[in-house]
Structure 1
Amino acid sequence: MLKKILKSYDYSLIAVIAVLSIFGLVMVYSASMAFAVQRYGVAPDHFFQKQKLFLIGAAVIFSFFAFFPYKIMRSTRLLAPMVMMSLLGLGGILIFGKVAGNAQSWYQVGGVSIQPSEFAKLAVIIYLSAVYAKKQSYINEFNKGVVPPLLYLVFVCALIMIQPDYGTAGIIILIAMAIILSSGMNWKNIFKLIGIGALALIVFSLALHDKIFSEERLQRVTVLEDPFKDELDEGFHLSNSLLSIGSGGITGLGLGKGVQKLGYLPESHTDFIIAVVAEELGIVGVAFVLFCIGFIVLKGIYIGMKCKDPFGSLLALGISSMIGIQSAINLAGVSGMIPLTGVPLPFVSYGGSSIIQLAIASGILVNVSMFANYERKFKAKQAQNPPAPAMSEPIRARR
């Protein structure tokens, strides 16, 4: 049986995740060398060494969740503590959290920063997938099958918005929408949810008008028109990002030879790491990153469509949508298509919380794929060729 299970793993998916993560480690080293010395006065490989430790831990966590049967996670004994821990983590950060970048979104534990909203994304995926899979028989009963699971989503997003971190809250809402659209719910209820969501957004915007539409946030929108017009102030991040992207050409300036990361491009190893990739490795490097991320997302969608278990199917679709949505928002922000939101690029950007959360998510995705392949390859064959019935003792005696 173990041999059959090992044969059922999708090794192409595992390989792409591993290669992209190692590529990200190399780019973190290249992007953070000058930043580490100039900003913190530490060794040039400071962030590289920390990311390397994160990746080693992530590999162990990934292996555990790749072997851990995902179906156990829909148990109430696991779901209830997960829900409570995510809410307590998000609530506690408002009291004990560290403020950075005008947001109180991190716990500082020694030299490591932990961002609970990263893990809240995964908690929402697991919870909504488990509950909507369990409610399949009455998924179209609005008050009983549709609304109750969304109360948890509302609490999570409210706690994240209070920090304030509207970008992460928006990503979680988009992920939830992807799961809802995949749950089998009819369009009547989906349109009801869209209407209620739009009304809630209007009320929320009016109630917090001064915070949401503050001068600083509005400048993030207006700067998109011409970031070079105010390149030393509001357009500083975006204009230097565009210079990095534009100077790379087809093959780039060469690994480690980028100029913008030398004090011009802020957060070069986190939110803007794709700009460093474009400058040093050109279109070729960016295409490699897009191919790997696209492969993971499309493979996740394929797994979700092929999996016969509703819980596994929604899990795969939710995880792949999370990776795809977050990647799209990061790339669009760095290239000036949408306002900057401070969202890291999955598997590539520096960050312990992000890489550990992705290790859990991708491990679950690989596990769902394994079970789907196992049931399709081996259980189907077993059902087609059942073993011959054992001969009864009386017949044996007569013979």
Structure 2
Amino acid sequence: MTRNRRISAVAALALAALVTGTGAGFAATTTASATPVGTHAFPIAPAAATGTATAPTRSFHGALPAPTGPYAAGEDVIHLTDTSRPDPWVPSSGPRRLTVTMVYPAVPGTGTPAPYMTLAEAAGVLQRQKVPASSGVTPQSLSSVTTHAFDGARPQHGKHPLVVLSPAYENPRMTLTSLATDLASHGYVVALVGDTNGDSGETLADGRTPPCAICDDPALDFDSVATSRARDVSFTIDQLTHGTTAWRLAHLIDKRRIGMAGHSLGGAAAAATMIADPRVLAGVNMDGTFHPDPMPGQINRPFLMLGTAANTDWERPWAALGGYKKWLTVAGADHFSFSDLDLLHEEAGYPTPPLAPERAIVITREYVTAFFDQTLKGIDRPLLDGPSPNNPEVLFQP
């Protein structure tokens, strides 16, 4: 089993545990406790690997933390079709179709609360994790997570840098919502790009929500997945920077200032996109194995690596990166600390890693925002200069 396959298996257990907060149990597997460096397991119960994890008997009412910036977070969901290429995972389905969540700086008090995901996307998660109907869990319990984003909110005036976000393998784009809303509140336009047919489900323009077509492929080449996502991102940037046909608020985007961040395989996609697309001026990899490792000279623009303390898979990529770069590790974090999953898991009553999920989100937001402030806005952020007494968990690597 490859690194990313182990990560996917553990992520599946985490999501399954999350959405079964009313009492369904799941068996822990040995892969959840024996993952290699850089692919830390998410323990669904403090039981032995061969035991059964019993879900807590309490209702799940998930809520993400509120944004910390001066603006509210507006949200639109757009649908794009790339007629220049077929879908890479299901070519017979026609051209590549994408669902993208746009999060933007908005005027507080405008718009209506945005759902975490559509009912069909939530149902896709339930189906992917084989959650039994007897558990009593419905798509509403997942789709209704409080996001602090607002549909149709009135935008702030001016031009704002664009940051593209890419989630972990098999995870829907919404698992990076807490980061997206916070970036928007600090003056960024954010595009969360889903991997149609490559995750638990993205609701398309025609109302379909196709399941994952590649998640059970034991021979899947993760280099090809990262490359495909890079193509999706470049196409999305094309659409967002040429008029307002793709998105009614595209005039908010400063075309000269574009960055990208990703979690796990999404972090690999950020590097792959930077190699292929010079418009992406700065990148962030949050605890993802590179696919493939960049070669010297391929990435000479700013790059941040933010990950777990035990991650040594980054030594070769680090040496190959040119230009401004930072490698930060977070003590007590696990692989899912850099997304919404640990927090939602905690709210569902499950054990969490040594670093509290709320604290992990604070750290992720602060350092990712500081990095883009410095590299895209030209604002000096001393937070990136070295260790901070306010963030003792964050360690600066060579």
Between Structure 1 and Structure 2, whose CA radius of gyration is higher? 1
TM-score bin, normalised by smaller chain: under 0.3
TM-score, normalised relative to structure 1: 0.27
Query: Which structure would you say has the larger RCO, counting Cα contacts within 8 Å and 6 or more residues apart?
Result: 1
TM-score, normalised relative to structure 2: 0.27
Report which of the two has the higher share of helix: 1
